[in-house]
Amino acid sequence: MPWMLTGAWIVLPGVVLAGALIGATGIGGVLLVPLLTSLGGVPLPQAIAAASLGFALPALVVLRPLLRQPELAARCLPLLAGALAGSACGAFLVRWLPGAALMAGVTALVLFSGWRGLRTSRANAPHIAAEPLPPLALLVVGALVGVGSALTGTGGPVLVLPLLMLLRQPVLFAVVAAQAIQLPVAIAASAVHAFEGRLEPRLALMCGALMLAGSLLGQRAAMRLDTRQLQRLVSALLLGVGLWFTWLLLT
């Protein structure tokens, strides 16, 4: 059925904000599905499908670091290939999971992202990188991230960044990979959603265009603001949203 976006006066600026957070920090995409479902009145499967395709546009912007650094691009390829396959599998699984379970997954991701961001911003210890992961390990990590991202409608950074940091991979590689992984997730997941009739192209393109504009603004703002202060602000926002949706799930 054609969707009818309610509360557009608050949803549309919120989508721009999500794009700005993607451009500045890479983790703002977790806000999109909650915005569309709770404030916009979009059914959860359609919101997840629209988010999956919408992330493709801001992903094109954040791919620029890969074009400037061919070595990083080569290292990212197994990760992106795994994410492509995993996202397709995850998108097929959406129909078999109840809406409450999907929303619980989104809430958990938001809370984890906020907690991890605050924890990282307060840490003063230097990051000590381990040996680079072999291609097979990156393929597995990418597949896991793809499945989780497709199931919850997130773009991938909120899952892959903490995973790579937990595995003590170089910070530069983790950040660039987190930004780049949005594109294969968007392509694979949205293709499956379209095949199964959940994708509303107008909603997805509107979200993508607004997030693209926000992403460009976020990238510029991030270059002018103190990184640690910005991370704390974003993390506090994510924790607030996560607590709000926890309350909605429990009531």
Residue range 148-161, pLDDT digits in tens? 888 877 768 777 87
Say what the pTM is: 0.77
The torsion angles phi and psi of 5, rounded to 5 degrees, stand at -80, 115
Cβ(18)–Cβ(35) below 8 Å: yes
Tokens of residue 91, six digits: 């998108």
Q: Where are the alpha helices (DSSP H) in 153-200?
A: 157-166, 171-180, 182-195
Q: What is the pLDDT of residue 3?
A: 55
Mean per-residue pLDDT over the chain, rounded: 81
pLDDT tops 90 at residue 81: yes
Q: What is the pLDDT of residue 135?
A: 93
More confident of the two residues 29 and 33: 33
Q: Which of 71, 75, 52 is nearest to 195 (CA)?
A: 52
Identify the top-confidence range among 57-71, 76-90, 94-108: 76-90
